[in-house]
A = this chain, B = another copy of it.
Amino acid sequence: MTGGREPGRAADRDAVEAANTAFYTAMEEGDFERLEQLWLDDGTTDISCVHPGWPVLTGRGEVLRSYALIMAHTDYIQFFLTDVRVSLSGDTALVTCTENILSGGPAEDGAELGPLVGQLVVATNAFRRTPEGWRIWSHHASPVIAEADDGTPPAAGDADPGPSA
């Protein structure tokens, strides 16, 4: 962490972390309008998004449609964020964090809620400073797959390291 190395950057760091939290809160609350506001919309800079296991989505149309789809298929989602780190440079900030996700789909057979599923996901979120505050430029989230039996992490590009210890 570089916190404290540049005096005056602490406020930026707090603002970025608040924007990052707001992003996940909007997801938890299913607040599509808030989510829409949080994504960068300066008319020139392309946004992009990778949900866990998905290909890259580019541009507001594709990205926002994906959130509408996810919200429609998600009755309950909660993010317990850990390992939140902010890296600032100029008017850009990168936030990495672990998303400990608990989620449930629509209920079936008259139940109040579908089965809850826990997932371990890591994200890199890029934010851009705008006159309205920090806005999301890119979100890339991916599943954390367990280490192999011998303790070595999965190889480069290896999506299936085999059964974990």
Contact = CB atoms under 8 A, between A and B. Distances in A.
Given A91-B90, A138-B94, A142-B142, A46 B85 contact: yes
B50 A152 contact: no
B48 A144 contact: no
A83 to B, nearest CB: 7
A52 B87 contact: no
A115 interface: no
A156 B50 CA distance: 10
A68 to B, nearest CB: 12
Interface residues of A, number: 67
Interface string A27-65: 100000000000000101111101111111010000000
Given A126-B94, A140-B140, A155 B103 contact: yes
Interface string A136-150: 011011111100000
Contacts of A156: 27, 51-52, 70, 74, 77, 101, 103
A85 B98 contact: no
A124 interface: yes
A132 interface: no
A74 B155 contact: yes
Nearest to A101: B157
Given A56-B96, A74-B155, A124 B143 contact: no
B45 A2 contact: yes
A108 interface: no
